[in-house]
Structure 1
Amino acid sequence: MPFSDATGRRLLGRLREYMAGGGTVQERLDRTVRLIAEELRSDVCSCYVMRAGEVLELFATEGLSQTAVHVTRLRVSEGLVGEIAARARPLNAPNAWDHPSFAYRPETGEDVYASLMGVPMIRGGQVIGVLVVQNRDRRAYQDIEVETLETVAMVLAELLAGTDLIPRDELGPVTGNAVLPFRMEGLALNPGAVIGTAVYHRPKVHIERLISDDPEEELRRLREALKALRQSLDELIQTHVDLSGDYREVLEAYRMFADDAGWVSRISDAIRSGLTAEAAVRKVDDDMKVRLAQASDPYIRERLHDLEDLANRLLLHLTGQGMTSAQGELPEDTILICRSLGPAELLDYPRGFVRGVLMEEGAPTMHAVIVARALDIPVIGRLDGVFSRIAPFDTVALDAGNGQIFVRPSDDLRETFSESVASRQARRQAYLAERDRPFETRDGVPVRILMNAGLLMDMGHLEDTGAMGVGLYRTELPFMARPSLPDVATQTVLYQKIRDQAAGRPVVFRTLDVGGDKLLPYWSSDGEDNPAMGWRSIRITLDRPAVLRAQVRALLRASAGADLDMMFPMIATVAEFEQARRLLDVEVARERARGGALPSAIRVGTMLEVPALLYQFPELLRKVDFVSVGSNDLLQFLFATDRGNPRVSSRYDTVSVPVLRLLRQVREQCDAAGKPVTVCGEMAGRPLEAMTLIGLGFRSLSMAAPGIGPVKHMLRSMDFGEVKRYVNALVESSDPNPRRALRAFARDHGIKID
């Protein structure tokens, strides 16, 4: 008799009885594998559980030798069982012995079994075991059999989660000494410094019922919960209408996920297999976590947080808990502790109560971090074990600028930290007081200080900082915050808004710079061994000229009647610049032919990021209107050092003698050709480095908004003539530690670099 949906539902019904019965976990597992083997007409059913050190241990079996139980172990990626765990995907092998990953374990007595089907047991997005069936004859298992085994594996995962067989859940009791102070380090995602009280973010919803006899009733409950979910999201977005521009677009894109037909269809299919609506949502959520977490595209992996947030919200509506858990009594200085956040979850909390966020996961471009920037909430991510080390209501001092937190700080440390926070506030006030003063040195030498931006909301910092314009507008960030490629009309409106908010100040638009660590969700990627030096930036848009032409067309239309400054990123050869310039010329001719208004002037430059361009520099300078030194990429390529890798990023210094000589040479060649040059990136935004760059002769620096105040403070305290003489002498020296020498010089001459 062929396997059917009815067979699967009967199996789940019997499994529910087995799980409700008495006995130890081992006894229930033994009964369960016998039941699965019987219902799936398999000669073998085995359950492997993940143990410490990523080892899968045979925990129960029907068909293999019982003496192998708790003896046979396979590492993740070892054998077919290890392959299933490593890939977190089912495996259907009609002849297991021919599979390249097969590993023979003689103690199991599996010599007589040919075919194998296995599925991962997933909970919380992590593989906690593997469920396997085997048969003597060679056979390809049906899709419905694979799907049924996946559903059974989900139910077993919930059973095991309540035991000591798998690691403690993230929200379990804090282990270790809970009173001693300690420090943790993570990834700075949004700067700021605060002291507050630790509060756990909403815990995962507990599911009471897993199996249902009435799929139609569960589908009805799902439809009602989805309706309530969508309504609550609409109300939430409407409540926060003041979050305009790109931040609002983030929320709108997030809202679209709730209407995703594929997501709803997968949940509905899981319900029809015999699960309750809650269990179906959890199953689909866990499956999506594993699949998206394995994606090579970081942007796609980060959308996992959006889907997880939606799933948890849907579960709250299904269980009748609503969204009340975030609205309870909170300390007014809450430091939120979470594994990850969806973009709307911060908005669930009363405005002003959340002072900081600590995440086990997190990335700079995840939607929750973008919203946190809008709310001015400091965020630190990549804090492994944060739940096991920080207890609710612990005092936490958070220094998000440096990615550090101090848990249960001593009185002395709290006092010092509070003084530091107050000092930072005082410095911010001092920077604000200097906002309207000229950007010039003590001896009257003017320096052009510009701001880097990437979102519409960033433009408000022009007024806050007094910056003279935008030296780098990263056009790719709005592309990354949308679910599809924006058309010409959409881009034109965006660029017009940017120009409007600049209020007459110059804006230099950098064309689309994606690839590497900035892939778009609607562009597929095959994965690259070295994406930072792979198919990225101008290489992509020259290979896909329609994308570059559409962007250029939008920039031309948005700049009609005004000056347009634009530059191409990641140019490695003069020929690449010429090719990109020709595409611009085609669009200019096209606009002129259609009678469209053109910019009053068009200035075209390039980023200097690839060292190869230095050996073509004289030829390049004859073709460009200006140059922008992209210090971040230029220096990492110069030293062959990944600046994002903490093991090697500290092995070179941005003010080492080779760097200073290179930059002085670039400035001298630009001056000789009469072409303006600006230094962009992190180097320009740090006072010591900015002082050094000015001493090398650079008169234009572009930096992130937080760096403008400190750099201006430094600028107005330095004497250009003194700094120039010292820096140029240092360039000619062989000093192994120029940074130390520069610091000593600044201190001796009253230059404010701290």
Structure 2
Amino acid sequence: MAKTLSFTCELPNGVHARPASHMEQFCNKFASSINWTNTRTGATGDAKSVLSLIGTDTLLGDKCLITIDGLDEDEVLQQMQAFINGEFAKCDEALPQASHEDKDVAPLPRSLANLAPVTVRGNNVSTGIATGKLVSVNAFDFEKLENLPALRSMDEEKSSMASGLKALAHGIERQLQIAHGTESAILKAHLSIVSDTSFHQHLMNRVSEGSSCAEAIIATARHFSNQMKQSKSEYLRERELDIRDVSFQLLQQIYGAANFDNKLVLTEDSVCLAEDLTPSQFLELDKKHLKGLILSRGGSTSHTVILARSFKIPTLVGVEQTALNSAIGTQIVVDANLGLVATNLTDPVIRYYDQELNVQKTLEQQQGVFKNIQAQTEDGKRLEIAANIALPIEAKAAFNNGAESIGLFRTEMLYMDRQTAPDEDELYNIYCQAIEAAHGKAIIIRTMDIGGDKPVEYLNIPHENNPFLGYRAVRIYKEFFELFKSQLRSILRASAHGSLKIMIPMISSMEEILWVKELLSQVKHELRENKIPFDEKIPFGIMLEVPSIAFIIDQCCEEIDFFSIGSNDLTQYLIAVDRDNEKVANHYNSLNPAFLRTLDHIVREVHRHGKWVGLCGELGAKGSVLPLLVGLGLDEISMSAPNIPATKARLAKLDSKECRLLLNKAMACRTALEVEHLLAQFRMVQHDAPLLTSDCIILDSDLRSKEEVIKTMTDNLYLAGRCRYPNKLAEDLWAREDVFSTGLGFGFAIPHTKSEHIEQSTISVAKLANPIMWGDEEVRFIIMLTLNKHAAGDQHMKIFSRLARRIMHAGFRDGLFNSKSTFEIEQTLKTELEM
């Protein structure tokens, strides 16, 4: 007699793909048939099929009945109870839910906002600006299929279906042999669908009822897609895309790709709009014409987004397709710096983005010369500039962007967003892929920093109140011993093919170092015994992020080869500030003199013992802090790849001895604010830039509005290296314009501000080809005063007053209006202002 078991579903998100997969794997170990009934809906599914289980629509609180019938039913019943209360009850804790709530978005720059653009906001995951025709890229639409292949005999249809499923499964298995990371996880998901008993059964049932293979596939795709579309789970909706993808591949497998072609051909500069794209769909798009990408779904770490980043395609996610349906076929702008799509483009908005693209192009040209040269200071001091990556596909883009090494390969991404851990061979192939892109340059592989704030669902690590200080990184390695050992083996095996270094995160004591080294020695011994090659002298290092290590550097140097400072965690641990806690986040400041003194102590002690030390936190990419990092004498700094050219360019303008003196002064400061002022003054006097130069004078420009003038002049300061954040400087100018217009009559305007966003105080000039309205005044000549607030004193009001008085004189005005060169304007102003 069949056995039954009843229980209440305790999964917060119900039975979606992930818990269904756990149940399927458990049930397939037994011979008995196992059926799952949701008593609320009355739906019954085969517990050995993920798709069938999902079809029961089981939600939190639903009463469920499991029926077991077969020779081993007693054993199943006994183990099922323990499974449901144990593993199954815990497999749904960390699944994120999609949210379409309105989020706070940063305000638009005033020079754009004043133009009243029509915009849709999104989340930027690959920066840049692109223009092009908006094109919809949809997954294969089974509702629009016409002229299906003719129906054959039932035996032929059954044979074609069976052979098609078998061939498709074999094809995916072959792809899996060479796939890596996220691509591998996608292929495994597709293989699980192709092998699913309910998927097979639904297809074959349709054929047995008289449908052709094409009709059966379409009906099956609709059936399972409709089930998944109704789910509130983001994960499950993503599986709906997989169902359509696999069904389409099956159609192609049986009837040939020529009969079912969904390839989009781009014939002009285009921005592609899609709900989601698989990596293969993205790779099929012609990159010559693909200028931007807009996705409804996806995150910053999805494989498609990482591909877009590597191709430098500006990309937004989280944009509702319906908000852009009316813009399909029209020219739009994707501004992935501000996180928006601009539609219904007016001429002023088009001109705004023409200027933005011009600035982007000019900046790339300025910084491009530094991509392929060795990073060093003006006086020849070397500082290696490295890249941080999370997946191997990012390595090539990083080296193309000027990276001299990979300073941090965050391997935890290889373990996340999947149902099982990667095996040794998969990891080995991933590391080899990065090595191939490096062409002999070094790669530091940080072992998995998972747990804590980076949950991995299949490990079932309990949630913690303070994950940053909790059970994570090296602290979980003993419990997940085989997982860690597998990673060490894969790194060592890959080291035979290139320059790899091993780095362990979250080290806080000598005991941890010795334990890892002992295991590493054991793994090396096993590889030698099996005659598997590896680098016998592979460097071994640790992340220095826990303050305790700063006080045992001498002992650490006896056991390790290098250190890499994790500035983000070291800051919050040293100052005891949770940077994600809004109430104390204002205390999180890496310019705290205590933190700077700690860094100085670390670097001096490491170098005193003849070892190497780098820094791989967010601090490395902050241009304003670079002089302090140079002053520390670090051997390397690592950052996201897009920041590398700018960092090399800034580094080339610094003198290492001046930077050391600056650091000494910063460490003597009493507050972080004092350090900020010190850095501002250093930037201002660094090259003793004159207040007025020809570089900041624009002649006969076709600027058509106040917005264009302020934008162009602040952008010019940015390109001249005098301003870090042109939009913020422009906002300071607009703030004064809000109080009163700076149009003075006689065709002149003098916008002015004291701002922290101007590094070298500057008088900028623009003589326009045609007059524009400036408030109620018609203006053709603009003299803009942007003075550093830390050093300006009352200088800007003195200059403003003198200019206002001189403008009253016709001779002065005529001299400026009639000037034929920037040199004439420069000399006239210098004489009149007694500079």
TM-score > 0.5, shorter chain as reference? yes
Specify which of 186, 192, 196 is matched with residue 260 of structure 1: 192
- After superposition, what is the alpha-carbon deviation per residue over 1:11-32, rounded to whole angstroms, capped at 9, x for unaligned? xxxxxxxxxxxxxxxxxxxxxx
Specify which of 531, 540, 545 is matched with residue 609 of structure 1: 545
Q: Does 1:117 align with 2:4?
A: no
1:544 match: 480
Q: Does 1:285 align with 2:222?
A: no
- After superposition, what is the alpha-carbon deviation per residue over 1:407-446, rounded to whole angstroms, capped at 9, x for unaligned? 4454333323333323323332333323343322112222
Q: Does the residue aligned with 1:736 lie in a helix, a strand or coil?
A: helix
Whole-Å Cα distance in 2 between the matches of residues 409 and 473 of structure 1?
41
Q: Please say if residues 139 and 245 of structure 2, whose CA atoms lie closer than 8 Å, have aligned partners that are also in contact.
A: no
Specify which of 248, 267, 270 is matched with residue 334 of structure 1: 270
Q: Does 1:699 align with 2:635?
A: yes
1:742 match: 679
Amino acid in structure 1 at the alignment position of 2:518? R
**Deviation of the 1:692 alpha carbon:** 3.0
Q: Does the residue aligned with 2:363 lie in a helix, a strand or coil?
A: helix
Amino acid in structure 2 at the alignment position of 1:669? E
Q: Does 1:566 align with 2:502?
A: yes
1:528 match: 463
Specify which of 683, 686, 696 is matched with residue 619 of structure 2: 683
Q: Does 1:472 align with 2:412?
A: no
Compare 657-666 and 634-643 and name the one that shifted more: 634-643
2:362 match: 426
Amino acid in structure 1 at the alignment position of 2:40? M
**Deviation of the 1:592 alpha carbon:** 4.7
1:708 match: 644
Compare 676-685 and 199-208 and name the one that shifted more: 199-208
**Deviation of the 1:581 alpha carbon:** 1.4
Cα–Cα, structure 1 residues 457 and 316, in superposed 2: closer, same or farther, change >3 Å?
closer
Q: Does the residue aligned with 2:539 lie in a helix, a strand or coil?
A: strand
Q: Does the residue aligned with 1:356 lie in a helix, a strand or coil?
A: strand
Cα–Cα, structure 1 residues 615 and 84, in superposed 2: closer, same or farther, change >3 Å?
closer
Q: Does the residue aligned with 1:683 lie in a helix, a strand or coil?
A: helix
Q: Please say if residues 189 and 379 of structure 1, whose CA atoms lie closer than 8 Å, have aligned partners that are also in contact.
A: yes
Q: Please say if residues 546 and 573 of structure 2, whose CA atoms lie closer than 8 Å, have aligned partners that are also in contact.
A: yes
Cα–Cα, structure 1 residues 219 and 471, in superposed 2: closer, same or farther, change >3 Å?
farther
Q: Does the residue aligned with 1:189 lie in a helix, a strand or coil?
A: strand
Whole-Å Cα distance in 1 between the matches of residues 508 and 171 of structure 2?
49
**Deviation of the 1:711 alpha carbon:** 0.5
Amino acid in structure 1 at the alignment position of 2:224? V
2:91 match: none
1:671 match: 607
Kindly report the root-mean-square deviation, in angstroms, between the aligned alpha carbons of the 2 structures. 5.3
Q: How does 1:135-214 map to 2 (within 5 A)?
A: 181-202=117-138, 205=141, 207=143
**Deviation of the 1:729 alpha carbon:** 1.9
Amino acid in structure 2 at the alignment position of 1:555? I
Amino acid in structure 2 at the alignment position of 1:671? H
Amino acid in structure 1 at the alignment position of 2:658? E
Whole-Å Cα distance in 1 between the matches of residues 302 and 531 of structure 2?
42
Q: Does the residue aligned with 1:117 lie in a helix, a strand or coil?
A: coil
Unaligned runs of 5+ in 1: 1-79, 91-114, 121-126, 133-137, 145-167, 169-178, 210-215
Q: Does the residue aligned with 1:340 lie in a helix, a strand or coil?
A: coil
Q: Please say if residues 251 and 344 of structure 1, whose CA atoms lie closer than 8 Å, have aligned partners that are also in contact.
A: no
- After superposition, what is the alpha-carbon deviation per residue over 1:133-177, rounded to whole angstroms, capped at 9, x for unaligned? xxxxx9979899xxxxxxxxxxxxxxxxxxxxxxx9xxxxxxxxx
Q: Please say if residues 316 and 339 of structure 2, whose CA atoms lie closer than 8 Å, have aligned partners that are also in contact.
A: yes
Q: How does 1:359-438 map to 2 (within 5 A)?
A: 359-383=295-319, 387=323, 391-401=327-337, 403-438=339-374
**Deviation of the 1:701 alpha carbon:** 0.8
**Deviation of the 1:630 alpha carbon:** 1.8
Q: Please say if residues 542 and 580 of structure 1, whose CA atoms lie closer than 8 Å, have aligned partners that are also in contact.
A: no
Specify which of 637, 656, 664 is matched with residue 728 of structure 1: 664
Cα–Cα, structure 1 residues 720 and 227, in superposed 2: closer, same or farther, change >3 Å?
farther
Q: Does the residue aligned with 2:477 lie in a helix, a strand or coil?
A: helix
Whole-Å Cα distance in 1 between the matches of residues 58 and 387 of structure 2?
56
Q: Please say if residues 462 and 502 of structure 1, whose CA atoms lie closer than 8 Å, have aligned partners that are also in contact.
A: no
**Deviation of the 1:201 alpha carbon:** 2.7
Cα–Cα, structure 1 residues 316 and 360, in superposed 2: closer, same or farther, change >3 Å?
farther
Q: Does 1:507 align with 2:443?
A: yes
Whole-Å Cα distance in 1 between the matches of residues 674 and 169 of structure 2?
55
Q: Please say if residues 204 and 312 of structure 1, whose CA atoms lie closer than 8 Å, have aligned partners that are also in contact.
A: yes
**Deviation of the 1:567 alpha carbon:** 1.1
Amino acid in structure 1 at the alignment position of 2:505? P
Q: Does the residue aligned with 2:293 lie in a helix, a strand or coil?
A: strand
Whole-Å Cα distance in 2 between the matches of residues 139 and 468 of structure 1?
58
- After superposition, what is the alpha-carbon deviation per residue over 1:506-548, rounded to whole angstroms, capped at 9, x for unaligned? 3322223334565668x44355245555543323333222233
- After superposition, what is the alpha-carbon deviation per residue over 1:97-132, rounded to whole angstroms, capped at 9, x for unaligned? xxxxxxxxxxxxxxxxxx972479xxxxxx9xx999
Whole-Å Cα distance in 1 between the matches of residues 116 and 565 of structure 2?
47
Cα–Cα, structure 1 residues 289 and 222, in superposed 2: closer, same or farther, change >3 Å?
farther
Q: Does 1:631 align with 2:593?
A: no
Q: Does 1:583 align with 2:506?
A: no
Q: Does 1:358 align with 2:294?
A: yes
Whole-Å Cα distance in 1 between the matches of residues 563 and 284 of structure 2?
45
Amino acid in structure 2 at the alignment position of 1:442? E
Whole-Å Cα distance in 1 between the matches of residues 582 and 421 of structure 2?
34
- After superposition, what is the alpha-carbon deviation per residue over 1:326-345, rounded to whole angstroms, capped at 9, x for unaligned? 536x5622222233222222
Cα–Cα, structure 1 residues 220 and 431, in superposed 2: closer, same or farther, change >3 Å?
farther
Q: Please say if residues 608 and 627 of structure 1, whose CA atoms lie closer than 8 Å, have aligned partners that are also in contact.
A: yes
Whole-Å Cα distance in 2 between the matches of residues 647 and 592 of structure 1?
54
Whole-Å Cα distance in 1 between the matches of residues 497 and 331 of structure 2?
56
The alignment-based identity, stated in percent, is: 24
Q: Please say if residues 441 and 499 of structure 2, whose CA atoms lie closer than 8 Å, have aligned partners that are also in contact.
A: no
Q: How does 1:310-329 map to 2 (within 5 A)?
A: 310=246, 327=264
Cα–Cα, structure 1 residues 482 and 143, in superposed 2: closer, same or farther, change >3 Å?
closer
**Deviation of the 1:716 alpha carbon:** 0.3
TM-score by structure 2 length? 0.58
- After superposition, what is the alpha-carbon deviation per residue over 1:436-470, rounded to whole angstroms, capped at 9, x for unaligned? 43322112222122233444444434653443332
TM-score by structure 1 length? 0.64
Q: Please say if residues 268 and 280 of structure 1, whose CA atoms lie closer than 8 Å, have aligned partners that are also in contact.
A: no
Q: Please say if residues 196 and 397 of structure 1, whose CA atoms lie closer than 8 Å, have aligned partners that are also in contact.
A: yes
Whole-Å Cα distance in 2 between the matches of residues 565 and 690 of structure 1?
25
Whole-Å Cα distance in 1 between the matches of residues 164 and 479 of structure 2?
45
Cα–Cα, structure 1 residues 280 and 534, in superposed 2: closer, same or farther, change >3 Å?
farther
Q: Does the residue aligned with 1:398 lie in a helix, a strand or coil?
A: strand
Amino acid in structure 2 at the alignment position of 1:623? E
Q: Please say if residues 656 and 739 of structure 1, whose CA atoms lie closer than 8 Å, have aligned partners that are also in contact.
A: no
Whole-Å Cα distance in 2 between the matches of residues 538 and 380 of structure 1?
35
Count of matched residue pairs: 592
**Deviation of the 1:488 alpha carbon:** 4.4
Whole-Å Cα distance in 2 between the matches of residues 261 and 371 of structure 1?
25
Unaligned runs of 5+ in 2: 1-7, 18-37, 44-53, 70-99, 101-114, 146-151, 210-214, 688-720, 725-835
Amino acid in structure 2 at the alignment position of 1:506? A
